[in-house]
Amino acid sequence: MLIIPAIDLKDGVCVRLQQGRKEDVTVYSDDPAATASAWVSYGAELIHIVDLDGAFTGQQLNLESIKRIRKAVDVPIEVGGGIRDEDRIELLISLGIDRIIIGTAVIKEPEMFRQACRRFPGKILAGIDAKDGKVAIKGWQEVTQRDAIDVAIEMERFGASGIIYTDISRDGMLTGPNVEATRQIAAAVKIDVIASGGVSSLQDIKNLTSIDDLYGIITGKAIYSGAIDLQEAIRLVKEA
Residues annotated as part of the active site: 8, 129
Q: Say how far residue 134 (Cα) sits from the centre of its chain.
A: 17
**49: number of CA atoms within 13 Å, CB side?**
38
